[in-house]
Amino acid sequence: MTLIRNLLLLVTAAAAAPSPLVETLPSLPAPVAARSVCAGNTAADRSVWCDYSIDDDYYDVVPDTGVTVEYWLEITNITIAPDGFERVVLAINNTLPGPTLEANWGDFVKIHVTNRLTTNGTGIHWHGIRQNYTVQNDGVSSITQCPIAPGETLTYQWRATQYGTSWYHSHWSLQAWEGVAAPLIINGPATANYDEELGTILLTDWSHETADALYPSAEANGPPLLTTGLINGHNVWDGLGSRYNTSIVAGTKYRVRIINGAIDTFFKWSIDNHTFTVIAMDFVPIVPFEATVLDITMGQRYDVVFEADQAIADYWMRAIPQETCSSNNNTDNIRGILRYDNTSTADPVSQAWAQVDSCEDMPYDSLVPHLSQTVVHPTYDGSNMTVSVFASGSVFKWKIGNDSMMVLWDEPSLLQISNGNTTFEEQDVVYKLPEANEWVYFVIETIVAVPHPIHLHGHDFYILAQAESATYNDSVTLNLVNPPRRDVAVLPGNGYLVVSFLTDNPGAWLMHCHIGWHLSEGLALQFIERESEIPALLDTETLDSTCASWDAWTATSQITELDSGV
């Protein structure tokens, strides 16, 4: 069983590996097909997972699969035309998006990442993965590791204690948005039944200039107008390029895994004429609810099920940038195609669902976790987490509370802790959480009309309150009984977001805005959770050698850190 599964993974990987010299266009990511499901998990009952089920408390219980899934990845530099327009793309294994990684709930995952770039460092973050007692594998430069120098390899190891849909991406400079991003799937049970997987839908915004080239203008003038967007690395432009398209079979129920990997775009996603059922948000299965349009901000994921129950025809799949908070020059033409009749080649003529441009999470009351969890007597530490923008010389920076993050690539927090130095500087934006197993909560507020997708590493956070155009005060009701919990939520414009989590995972965990520009402009903080327990969790040899290689490379390269360092 185990052997067969590993063989399948190897086979899939080999089939997906392109020949960089021959190909000019990347292939679409391998469809989610060769997945192995657990006994009992069938189209008629997706709630079962071998001896486990959707009712098990995955914060506590994890299947013992005895399997270690192993992958090798290379961060590469290619010139391709994702939408028909050619440019430099930083990629994973020469593909955009990179290869989908897959494991089962309970598996150990081991990934060897080699930096094949010549003028950049790298580091890969496994977005949403809890990293339970494995903080060193979180992949954040300046926090959990030094960047991986060109030519070097770093091995990450962690256990899949959750299941569902996510992505992995570079957490070094703006590299994630140059193309270093790909889907990550952990198979497990689900809260609704479906027949088949349609696959992952990775939404990105896209420009004909690189994110690095746009950054100076973003810093000086605010978010630039982006050219267009891509669905699974594809779109059309000026009569060139091609669209994501797939055929569907009438009467079949499909699971779709939607990921927003944009640098600065809040999308509404939909399929013309088809309603869908939302079954998970980030890595959290939810009580299913129906919708026609999905609000999805950067870093978030939703799993939905739709039935091919409409007239035999071609239908658009749409990803529409919300102009209230995103600036895109091609809002109406970021589309894919679903065809009932796979001999058709025509463009669909279907119409979009009625929708209103806005930048909000799906309705708070709809986001009910299937596994009910209660926040018990949360403690407020009084930290000022007001998010604001300010001019620093001739450029904009963002800060949270007093400080804008500015951490150094060669002095990651874990190295400092490993060396016994517990003194941090103000610009490290450290919030210490020394108590074990305490529920803490934080009020993140803003008086700026810009919404921010706030992402926490190392935990799911519990959303106790969230409001737009409102000021937090002590009489705001905190919802402690099974509130929505996930790893990215919107801090609404001029509003507040109150989040809580249990200090059950020692480490240095970043909490930050997932808008790429804002992250580079300092909108981040780090929780140093249970500092005294961290040294015992570290592999200091790996920590030190990654830093030694980085120091050696930077000694002779021309590289300069111009952003927040994360």
Ligand X SMILES: *[C@@H]1O[C@H](CO)[C@@H](O)[C@H](O)[C@H]1NC(C)=O
Q: Which residue ranges make up the site for Cu ion (CB under 5 A)?
A: 452, 513, 515, 518
Of 142 and 277, nearer to ligand X (C-beta) is 142
One-letter-per-residue 3-state SS of 506-537: CEEEEEEECCHHHHHCCCEEEEEECHHHCHHH
Q: Are 237 and 178 in contact (CB under 8 A)?
A: no
In sequence order, the β-bridge partners of residue 351 are: none
Of positions 193, 344, 355, 388, contacts ligand X by CB under 6 A: 388
Of 192 and 525, nearer to ligand X (C-beta) is 525
Residue 242 is a binding residue for ligand X (CB under 6 A): yes
Residue 206 is a binding residue for ligand X (CB under 6 A): no
Q: Is the dihedral of CA 150, 152, 153, 156 positive or negative?
A: negative
SS3 assignment, position 307 = strand
Binding mask 23-52 for ligand X (x = CB under 6 A): -----x------------------------
Closest separation between CB of residue 265 and Cu ion, Å?
12
Closest separation between CB of residue 293 and ligand X, Å?
14
Residue 532 is a binding residue for ligand X (CB under 6 A): no
Of positions 49, 71, 167, 441, contacts ligand X by CB under 6 A: 71
- If we measure between CA atoms, which residue out of 360, 331, 520, 329 comes closest to residue 453? 360
Instruction: Find all residues with CB under 8 Å of 301, minimum gap 6, and list them.
Output: 128, 164, 165, 166, 167, 257, 258, 259, 260, 280, 281, 282, 283
Q: Is the dihedral of CA 214, 216, 217, 219 positive or negative?
A: positive
Closest separation between CB of residue 513 and Cu ion, Å?
3
Per partner kind, with CB cut-offs from 5 to 8 A, the member of ligand X, Cu ion, none near residue 109 is: none
- If we measure between CA atoms, which residue out of 316, 514, 529, 503 comes closest to residue 398? 514
The separation between CA 176 and the C-alpha centre of its own chain, rounded to angstroms, equals 10
Residue 383 is a binding residue for ligand X (CB under 6 A): yes
Residue 310 is a binding residue for ligand X (CB under 6 A): yes
Closest separation between CB of residue 556 and ligand X, Å?
14
* Number of shown-chain residues binding ligand X (CB under 6 A): 56
What amino acid is encoded at 434 in this protein?
P
In sequence order, the β-bridge partners of residue 509 are: 527
Of positions 19, 423, 437, 556, contacts ligand X by CB under 6 A: 423
Closest separation between CB of residue 324 and Cu ion, Å?
14
- Count CB neighbours of 57 within 10 A: 9
- If we measure between CA atoms, which residue out of 508, 365, 386, 373 comes closest to residue 445? 386
Of 80 and 279, nearer to ligand X (C-beta) is 80
Span of 280-288, 305-313, 318-326, 510-518 interacting with ligand X by CB under 6 A: 305-313
Per partner kind, with CB cut-offs from 5 to 8 A, the member of Cu ion, ligand X, none near residue 113 is: none
Span of 12-20, 46-54, 286-294, 362-370 interacting with ligand X by CB under 6 A: 12-20
Per partner kind, with CB cut-offs from 5 to 8 A, the member of Cu ion, ligand X, none near residue 329 is: ligand X
Of positions 42, 402, 469, 532, contacts ligand X by CB under 6 A: 402
Q: Each residue of 395-417: b (16+ CB within 10 Å) or e?
A: ebbbbbbebbbbbebbbbbbbbb
Instruction: Find all residues with CB under 8 Å of 116, minimum gap 6, and list them.
Output: 74, 75, 76, 77, 150, 151
CB burial class (10 A; 0-12, 13-18, 19+) of residue 533? middle
Of positions 17, 352, 368, 395, contacts ligand X by CB under 6 A: 17
What amino acid is encoded at 522 in this protein?
G
Span of 254-262, 380-388, 436-444, 479-487 interacting with ligand X by CB under 6 A: 380-388
Of positions 25, 50, 56, 133, contacts ligand X by CB under 6 A: 133
Of 269 and 424, nearer to ligand X (C-beta) is 424
Per partner kind, with CB cut-offs from 5 to 8 A, the member of Cu ion, ligand X, none near residue 421 is: ligand X
CB burial class (10 A; 0-12, 13-18, 19+) of residue 338? buried
Of positions 33, 225, 240, 449, contacts ligand X by CB under 6 A: 225
- If we measure between CA atoms, which residue out of 80, 96, 268 comes closest to residue 176? 96
Closest separation between CB of residue 204 and Cu ion, Å?
17
In DSSP notation, 412-434 reads -HHHHHHTT-----GGG-EEEE-
- If we measure between CA atoms, which residue out of 266, 274, 270, 328 comes closest to residue 300? 266
Interface residues for ligand X in 428-447 (CB under 6 A)? 428
Per partner kind, with CB cut-offs from 5 to 8 A, the member of ligand X, Cu ion, none near residue 513 is: Cu ion
Of 125 and 455, nearer to Cu ion (C-beta) is 455
Q: What are phi and psi of 399, to 5 degrees?
A: -135, 160
Residue 386 is a binding residue for ligand X (CB under 6 A): yes
- Count CB neighbours of 112 within 10 A: 14
Residue 556 is a binding residue for ligand X (CB under 6 A): no
What amino acid is encoded at 430 in this protein?
V
Residue 535 is a binding residue for ligand X (CB under 6 A): no
Closest separation between CB of residue 363 and ligand X, Å?
18
Residue 311 is a binding residue for ligand X (CB under 6 A): yes
Of 23 and 45, nearer to ligand X (C-beta) is 23
Interface residues for ligand X in 157-176 (CB under 6 A)? 161, 173
Residue 416 is a binding residue for ligand X (CB under 6 A): yes
Closest separation between CB of residue 88 and ligand X, Å?
5
Closest separation between CB of residue 354 and ligand X, Å?
10
Q: Are 440 and 538 in contact (CB under 8 A)?
A: no
Per partner kind, with CB cut-offs from 5 to 8 A, the member of ligand X, Cu ion, none near residue 452 is: Cu ion
Instruction: Find all residues with CB under 8 Å of 436, minimum gap 6, and list them.
Output: 503, 504, 530, 533
Q: Is the dihedral of CA 298, 299, 305, 309 positive or negative?
A: positive
Q: Which residues are at the interface with ligand X (CB under 6 A)? A: 13, 16-17, 28, 60, 62, 71-74, 77, 88, 90, 93, 99, 117-120, 132-133, 161, 173, 212, 225, 227, 242-243, 245, 247, 249, 273, 310-311, 313, 329, 342, 350, 383-384, 386, 388, 399, 401-402, 416, 421, 423-425, 428, 470, 473, 475-476, 559
